[in-house]
Amino acid sequence: MKIDLNATLRSHNTFGFDVLAEHLVHVTDRQEIPLFVEEAFKNKANWTILGGGSNLVLAKNLSGYVGLIATKGRRLLKETESHFYVEAMAGEVWHDFVAWTLEQGYLGLENLALIPGTVGAAPVQNIGAYGLELAEVFDSLEAFDTQTKQWVNLSKADCSFAYRDSIFKHQPHRYIVSSVCFALPKKWQANLSYAELAKAFADEKEINAQAIFKKVCEIRSAKLPDPNVIGNAGSFFHNPIVSNDQYLLLKQQLPHLVAYEVPFSSDQNKAWKLAAGWLIDQCGFKGYRQGAVGVYDKQALVLVNHGGGTGAELLQLAKEIQQKVYERFRVNLTIEPVIFQ
């Protein structure tokens, strides 16, 4: 277990913020996870876990121990008449894992292509895109329970998945994910529930998973900046969910309001998901720059670090955006990435 002292985390967070970790611990083997926890507890020190650093804002140096999960491995765990059960270690790069599943003929993750980060971080956020959420293809995961000091297997129900949410967000220091298992259907069906995908394949008679994978990559690349070129964490705010009454009021005032009915909401309790990027764009923030940080010029939902910016500067900009959106629409925007400040 390699430990670097006062190590920069600039290359371990996709915003590229240059903050320091007092002890940066490189976890390359599953069995090093309990050793990492034991080391932190023994020294009565703070600890945190990093994967790909793609969903966090580092606005301060991190004291104590920072575990960089870099475990590798992927395999077909088992198969039944209906599903392939595919497992990947937490340190696997998510997009590479998705590409590998398709190469092996395990279909169903293609809508989640090109999402930055690691496999271990994916259930924490319950990642989702283009009509699919991780929870829909999730089977189980293995994690180290830092309270009981035991390895545990958690089912979908155990994880309490919700929109960009899970038990891991509400108990952030209890579990450290070591591997994740997905249940991928043998009878594959194209998921074209996202309007842009449906439009792209409207004239296609035969659609395959590789074609969807390629199209998702094209759409994401056109909308979102490459973190290796411009520091960012993808979507910075959740798409807010409002009641039917609030939606109808906004729609009356804003005929071009971009919104989607929340699936499975009843007529008596209908809810709508608003496009946060559209709301931000209407407030004039698209392409806005404040020093080294700003709003991406192609997608207002993405905040960026042009180079040399700090987490504190980015959070100040985020606060201004939240205030303006609330003043104009009476809608609260909540921040999606995890914040260290």
Q: Which of 65-79, 163-177, 189-203 tops mean pLDDT?
A: 65-79
From 222, 247, 278, give the residue that closes a domain: 222
Q: Which residues are CB-neighbours of 125 under 8 A, at least 6 positions away?
A: 55, 117, 164, 166, 169, 336
pLDDT computed for residue 268 by the predictor? 67
The values of phi and psi at residue 12, to 5°, are -115, 15
Q: Are 194 and 111 in contact (CB under 8 A)?
A: yes
**Weakest-pLDDT range from 135-144, 256-265, 297-306, 330-339:** 256-265
String of b and e for 5-29 (b: at least 16 CB within 10 Å)?
eebebeebbbbbbbbbbbbbbbbee
Nearest to 131 by CA among 186, 203, 55, 212: 212
Choice among 142, 164, 178, 313 that is catalytic: 164
At which residue do the structure tokens 């040399």 appear?
Answer: 308
Average pLDDT over residues 283-311: 96
From 222, 248, 266, give the residue that closes a domain: 222
Q: Are residues 267 and 282 in the same domain?
A: yes
| Pairing outcome for strands 271-274 and 241-243 | antiparallel
Number of domain units in the chain: 3
Q: Are residues 278 and 184 in the same domain?
A: no
Q: How many angstroms separate the Cα of 280 from the Cα of each of 114, 183, 237, 309, 339?
A: 24, 37, 10, 21, 21
Q: Are residues 170 and 104 in the same domain?
A: yes
Judge whether 63 counts as a catalytic residue.
no
The values of phi and psi at residue 144, to 5°, are -95, 125
pLDDT computed for residue 63 by the predictor? 95
Does pLDDT of 263 surpass 90? Answer: no
Q: Are residues 299 and 335 in the same domain?
A: yes
pLDDT computed for residue 52 by the predictor? 83
Q: Are residues 53 and 88 in the same domain?
A: no
Rounded to an integer, what distance in angstroms lies between the CA atom of residue 263 and that of residue 250? Answer: 20
> Which domain CATH number covers 257?
3.90.78.10
Q: Are residues 93 and 198 in the same domain?
A: yes
> Which domain CATH number covers 172?
3.30.465.10
Q: Are residues 215 and 326 in the same domain?
A: no
Judge whether 265 counts as a catalytic residue.
no
Choice among 87, 110, 313, 336 that is catalytic: 336
Strand partners, 66: 24, 48
From 188, 205, 222, give the residue that closes a domain: 222
The model's pLDDT over 139-186, given as tens digits with 9 standing for 90+, comes to 999 999 999 999 999 999 999 999 888 999 999 899 999 999 999 999
> Which domain CATH number covers 15?
3.30.43.10
The model's pLDDT over 73-97, given as tens digits with 9 standing for 90+, comes to 999 999 999 999 999 999 999 999 9
Q: Are residues 245 and 168 in the same domain?
A: no
Host domain of residue 59 = 2-69
Q: Are residues 53 and 104 in the same domain?
A: no
Residue 325 DSSP symbol: H
Q: Name the token pair of 33.
A: 């996870």
Alpha helices in the chain (DSSP H): 32-42, 94-104, 122-125, 156-159, 167-170, 195-200, 209-223, 244-253, 276-282, 311-329
Does pLDDT of 269 surpass 90? Answer: no
Judge whether 10 counts as a catalytic residue.
no
The model's pLDDT over 307-323, given as tens digits with 9 standing for 90+, comes to 999 999 999 999 999 99
Choice among 140, 166, 178, 235 that is catalytic: 235
